[in-house]
Structure 1
Amino acid sequence: MSFRRGVVRQSKFRHVFAQAWRAEHCLDDVRVSRVTWDGPLCAVNTKFIAVIIEAGGGGAFLVVPISKSGRIDQSCPTVCGHAAPVLDVQWCPHDDNIIASASEDCTVKAGLGRVEVCLRRSSISADPVSLNLLLSCDNVICVWNVGTGELVYQLSDTHPDLIYSVGWNKDGSAVCTVCKDKALRIIDPRRGAVLKVREKVHDGTRPMRAVFLADGKILTTGFSRMSERQLALWDTKDLSEPMAVQEMDTSNGVLLPFYDPDTNMVYLCGKGDCTIRYFEVTDESPYVHFLSLYSSKEPQRGAGFLCKRGVDVNKCEIARFYKLHERKVEPISMTVPRKSDLFQGDLYPDTAGLEPALLADEWIAGQDAPPLLVSLSGGYAAPPSKQRDTIRTKPKLGSQDSGAATTTSVAPRSGNLSAWNGFLICCSSVFQDEMLSELLAEMKALRAVVLAQNQRIELLERQLARIEDGDV
């Protein structure tokens, strides 16, 4: 079913306008990577922006404070821990100081640990609700506990070829993937089970992308048989036919979808395009409503999407992109025009905060939970005393062949950071008394849980013994 661009319902986001920041607020002389991997090449959070750059003799990416602007000096430190081009970077959703990267050198690296896995090319995706869980994939899906360096799950038989894209659902219970075989799969990574499959989501041979929406639906981008770029919406209860399909143009650039669950808006950035299209997804036909597009003179090599915690609520900014040019990073704000200076609660519902809803062990045990939300009234400021400790569990030592994590102490070289291990941009707060008190309290709570479980086990063992003796 196709839907027309001209049919748009009334919406508070109907007049969202995009505006590029002035030149003095851009990052200049950034040598953005020329790697052909169809990824965004950039990751942004409330503190830092990471950009994959050109590097001789291996892979590297640049990390600078989000407040920085102007020319980036060539001697500026870079993260140089890979032996081949970096393909993907992603910030931890529960700690703005920790980042993970994936490379063509067959490694995925994150925080204090080093995780090695045989990959041809790799994408990475962090669980949005569980602490320290990272998913990596090529044609094999691996779920890692970054805190310990353990390979928690490995799904080797679910995909026959290269996975183009993978995304978690809202509560971390399932992931959706699109593969080179043109199929969309919904997978339970804990059971290693493919829940549903839709063959030929898009008929074209070019790479596809897929994202879970907040209500459980899935949005995909790809190409038609005639090489026209497409956007499609799928109901996970019935994948026999798409709820909506739109064909846009015949450009060769892969459409990168960026989804905002708070506003239910989707932004499409085509690699090599000069435009950013944005849509609103609703429960009313035709379900996906085209709103507008931002157009500029220079094409984008990639883009970073700022999480909602970082937007300027005083200016009614609902989204912000960091557009990658050949040698420049340009911020672009998406704003709803409002005259009032008061906080616009209808534009800013409570959003996902830094606090994880689950620990890694709780997720592994089968628990699911929605993300913990915070208010953006007055802007967001993370309370350090309420942030859980992330990726600071000592990684287990083991051989690289077994896939276990290894750690080494590498002294920083001139012009770059250490070869990843120990990479934390702002970690001095770990040793503050406040954090120590929190850790002691959490240890006490965990001891109480263990004691209660031991008592429960003893009770069950006594009941089992009575049953075997015929007393019950």
Structure 2
Amino acid sequence: MSRKVVRSSKYRHVFGQALKADQCYDDIRISQNTWDSNFCAVNPVFIAMIVEASGGGAFMVLPLSKCGRIDKAQPLVCGHTAVVLDIEWCPHNDHIIASGSEDCTVMIWEIPEGGLTRPLTDALVTLEGHSKRVGIIAWHPTVSQIGCDNVIIVWNVSTAEKVIVMDNVHTDTIYSVCWNHNGSRILTSCKDKKLRVIEPRKNTLIMEKEKPHEGSRPVRAIFLTDGKILTTGFGKMSERQVALWDT
């Protein structure tokens, strides 16, 4: 009977030094949802975290300076009717944040100066167009638009209108979405084990790479500023991998 070889982590003897309690955010009930996306988002002013909440989905927004133990009565952003899966700050306005949820909507929120003093339930804009949960949000880097899920929709946030709908490119769940530096291309990684580069304005597939990593676990991919692609994933033996690709 053969024994399966499991490689030891090369980082098993590396230990970090935790900050002092008064420099940490403590006593926050982070979401236990297993959806593979960002539960935390930060910008130069605020930190936002998806949290456990009854009766729908919610996330917490704190000024970066508000460290230490967080009051259990801290106001939340709580307008979704189901679990929040992803949050992303607008790159053009530090007080605007988008949230995607299992309720199939994207909501755009404005956080007041200094943070929340009461629960925020009314979104600036609600984007309705997905028939399944919205698990990935990515702001356009140069224009205030947004896209998400395994049907990719590019929205004009200011008018709540769909600009582009890409519903025939991906055969399965999308694991990551990334715009390039000027917003002319979209890079995606998918459960079908393919990387895709898409030209959104023409709704066409520019290039495709099968199995950037051999392992079965999710692959993440981002554009670098020089146009190359950086991916993270796993090999056949479940070892972590990072790869750099020339498009």
User: Shared topology, TM-score over 0.5?
Assistant: yes
Partner of 1:91: 89
In structure 2, C-alpha distance between the alignment counterparts of 1:88 and 1:225, rounded to whole Å? 29
**How far, CA to CA, are the matches of 1:228 and 1:159 in structure 2?**
27
Matched, 1:74 2:86: no
Q: Which has the higher strand share?
A: 2
- Tell me by how many angstroms 1:86 deviates: 0.8
Residue from 44, 47, 55 that aligns with 1:46: 44
**Cα offset, 1:118, TM superposition:** 1.8
SS of equivalent to 2:164 = strand
**Alignment partner of 1:133 out of 142, 145, 148:** 145
Q: 1:122 aligns with which of 135, 139, 142?
A: 135
Structure 1 residues 158 and 50, CA gap change in structure 2 (3 angstroms): same
Q: Which runs of 5+ in 2 are unaligned?
A: 1-15, 110-123
What amino acid maps onto 1:29 in structure 2? D
Aligned residues: 217
Deviation at 1:228, TM superposition (A): 1.9
Alignment partners' CA distance in 1, 2:239 and 2:93: 39
Deviation at 1:75, TM superposition (A): 1.0
Q: Is the CA contact 2:59–2:78 (under 8 Å) kept in the aligned structure 1?
A: yes
Task: Note the alpha carbon deviations across 1:422-447, whole angstroms, 9 max, x for none.
Answer: xxxxxxxxxxxxxxxxxxxxxxxxxx
- Rounded to whole Å, the distance in 2 between the matches of 1:110 and 1:232 is 34
Are residue 220 (structure 1) and residue 218 (structure 2) matched?
Answer: no
Contact 2:188 / 2:197 at 8 angstroms: preserved in 1? Answer: yes
TM-score, normalised with respect to structure 1? 0.45
User: Quick one: distance in 2 between partners of 1:212 and 1:200?
Assistant: 17
**Structure 1 segments (4+ residues) deviating >6 Å:** none
> What's the CA shift for 1:223?
1.5
Rounded Cα–Cα distance in structure 1 between residues aligned with 2:205 and 2:106: 24
Say if 2:219 is the partner of 1:184: no
Local SS of the residue matching 2:193: coil
What are the Cα deviations for residues 239-277 of structure 1, in whole angstroms up to 9, with x where unaligned? Answer: xxxxxxxxxxxxxxxxxxxxxxxxxxxxxxxxxxxxxxx
Pairing of 1:435-446 with structure 2 (within 5 A): none
Indicate the structure (1 or 2) with the bigger Cα radius of gyration.
1
| Percentage of identical aligned residues | 56
State the alpha-carbon separation in 2 of the partners of residues 225 and 182 from structure 1.
13
What is the aligned partner in structure 2 of residue 208 from structure 1? 219
Task: Tell me the distance in 2 between the aligned counterparts of 1:171 and 1:55.
Answer: 37
Tell me what 1:28 maps to.
26
- Cα distance, 1:120 vs. partner? 3.1
CA–CA distance in 2 between the matches of 1:19 and 1:149?
A: 45
- Local SS of the residue matching 1:24: helix
**Quick one: which amino acid aligns to residue 115 of structure 1?**
L
Cα deviation, residue 19, structure 1: 6.3
Aligned residue for 2:54?
56
- Superposed CA deviations along residues 329-352 of structure 1, whole A, max 9, x for unmatched, are xxxxxxxxxxxxxxxxxxxxxxxx
In the alignment, structure 1 segments of 5+ residues that lack a partner are 1-17, 237-472
